[in-house]
């Protein structure tokens, strides 16, 4: 079978509670074991980004009232194979995309097929080429954690590209500083972007705690259509340094369970506190720098179609 099929209306009532007939909820940013290895120096050889098993993620999300379920692993759809049997599951991914200036960003792409994934991976090193493909296929996508330094440095022109060609911004990320989410929401409002939200959880503890809701949707396809129409509403928790620290300790514990020999590194575990505090401070500095710079700038961001009319964005 080459593609994932959206849940159908006849099956809808068997899997989705009648209470959800008036709205649909989905955590649009969830990670599993398929997200690969972490990118922290040294640990990249031994530690995973997430130890969440797909079936466990699915069960937890349903327990917390999510109407439909997706996974957004880093540049992977491998975990989707375990969940494709569920009619309320749809396929997504978080692509690591290289911008024209050489920086990187994370792009959430929702409701894709396996063929879309192959093409996304082929084009993700070329932002413009990727935008052309996503637009041609009328896929829905978002800039994730807009004011985060997680993917490294940022250029001012990156925000111009986002303003020009990306239809949605993640305005509530369950791992982000509340003011970073607020800054993302203000920027999205100023630019007329669609708001989406998700937990960005790499552990079971956080999945489903931040989500997007679409009134009136009955299937995953209608949910995404509602997002595209701007009817989505973000809800749930923001991040905190304490929450991040707890998640890192959970990942370390899972590492110890998977590779018992790493217990020899246990004396270094107090360094987790210093690591997460340093990371959190860097996130705050990154957000304050770029939110201030953008708010000092023009009320209307420069659009690249002002310079190149040959590229037309079509979200309809």
DSSP state of 30: B
pLDDT at residue 40, as a whole number: 82
Q: Whole-angstrom Cα distance, residue 105 to residue 94?
A: 10
Over residues 183-199, the mean pLDDT reads 97
Token pair belonging to 314: 């079509």
Domains identified in the chain and CATH numbers: 24-306 (3.20.20.140)
pLDDT at 10 over 90: no
Three-state DSSP at 79 gives coil
Q: Whole-angstrom Cα distance, residue 81 to residue 95?
A: 18
Identify the residue whose tokens are 């797909």. 54
Over residues 72-86, the mean pLDDT reads 97
- In sequence order, the β-bridge partners of residue 210 are 236
Q: Whole-angstrom Cα distance, residue 97 to residue 103?
A: 8
pLDDT at 202 over 50: yes
Q: Whole-angstrom Cα distance, residue 228 to residue 218?
A: 15
Show Cβ contacts of residue 106 under 8 Å, excluding neighbours closer than 6 positions.
74, 94, 95, 96, 97, 143, 144, 145, 150, 151
pLDDT at 316 over 80: no
- In sequence order, the β-bridge partners of residue 94 are 74, 108
pLDDT at residue 217, as a whole number: 95
Token pair belonging to 240: 């905190």
Q: Whole-angstrom Cα distance, residue 171 to residue 189?
A: 10
Residue 206 — pLDDT band, cuts 50, 70, 90? very high
Token pair belonging to 207: 């999945």
The 233-236 sheet, strands edge to edge: 23-26, 210-215, 233-236
Token pair belonging to 151: 């993917």
Q: Whole-angstrom Cα distance, residue 100 to residue 103?
A: 7
Look at residues 44, 100, 42 and name the one whose alpha carbon lies nearest to residue 74.
Answer: 44
Token pair belonging to 61: 């999300």
Identify the residue whose tokens are 């995973």. 48
Residue 282 — pLDDT band, cuts 50, 70, 90? very high
- The answer to whether 93 touches 118, Cβ cutoff 8 Å, is no
Three-state DSSP at 303 gives coil
pLDDT at 22 over 50: yes
pLDDT at residue 173, as a whole number: 98
- The answer to whether 275 touches 244, Cβ cutoff 8 Å, is no
- The answer to whether 19 touches 66, Cβ cutoff 8 Å, is no
Give buried/exposed letters for 63-86 (b at 16+ CB in 10 A, else e).
eeebbbbbbbbbbbbebbebbbee
Q: Where is 296: in which H helix or E strand?
A: helix 271-296
pLDDT at residue 44, as a whole number: 87
- The answer to whether 298 touches 159, Cβ cutoff 8 Å, is no
Token pair belonging to 150: 């997680």
* pLDDT tens, residue by residue, 44-78: 899 999 999 999 999 999 999 999 999 999 999 99
* pLDDT tens, residue by residue, 157-189: 999 999 999 999 999 999 999 999 999 999 999
pLDDT at residue 71, as a whole number: 98
Over residues 281-299, the mean pLDDT reads 90
């Amino acid at each position: 079978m080459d593609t994932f099929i959206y849940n159908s209306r006849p099956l809808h009532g068997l899997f989705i509670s009648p209470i959800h007939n008036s709205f649909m909820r989905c955590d649009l940013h969830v990670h599993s074991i398929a997200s690969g290895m972490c990118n922290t120096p040294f640990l990249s050889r031994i530690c995973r980004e997430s130890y969440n098993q797909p079936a466990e993620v699915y069960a937890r999300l349903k327990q917390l009232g999510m109407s439909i379920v997706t996974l957004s692993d880093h540049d992977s759809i491998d975990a989707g194979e375990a969940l494709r049997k569920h009619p309320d599951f749809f396929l997504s991914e978080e692509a690591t995309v290289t911008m024209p200036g050489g920086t990187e960003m994370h792009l959430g792409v929702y409701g894709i097929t396996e063929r879309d994934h192959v093409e996304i991976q082929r084009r993700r090193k070329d932002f413009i080429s990727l935008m052309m493909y996503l637009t041609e296929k009328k896929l829905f996508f978002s800039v994730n954690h807009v004011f985060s330094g997680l993917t490294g440095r940022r250029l001012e022109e990156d925000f111009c590209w986002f303003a020009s060609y990306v239809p949605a911004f993640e305005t509530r990320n369950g791992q982000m500083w509340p003011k970073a989410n607020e800054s993302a929401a203000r920027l999205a409002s100023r630019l007329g972007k669609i708001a989406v939200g998700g937990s960005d959880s790499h552990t079971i503890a956080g999945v489903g705690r931040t989500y997007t809701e679409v009134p009136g949707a009955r299937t995953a396809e209608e949910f995404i259509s509602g997002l595209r129409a701007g009817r989505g509403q973000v809800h749930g928790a923001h991040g905190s340094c304490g929450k991040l620290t707890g998640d890192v300790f959970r990942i370390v514990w899972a590492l110890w369970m998977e590779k018992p020999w790493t217990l020899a590194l246990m004396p270094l575990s107090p360094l987790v506190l210093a690591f997460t505090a340093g990371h959190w401070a860097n996130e705050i500095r990154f957000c304050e720098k770029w939110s201030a710079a953008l708010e000092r700038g023009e009320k209307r961001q420069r659009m690249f179609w002002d310079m190149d009319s040959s590229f037309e964005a079509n979200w309809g």
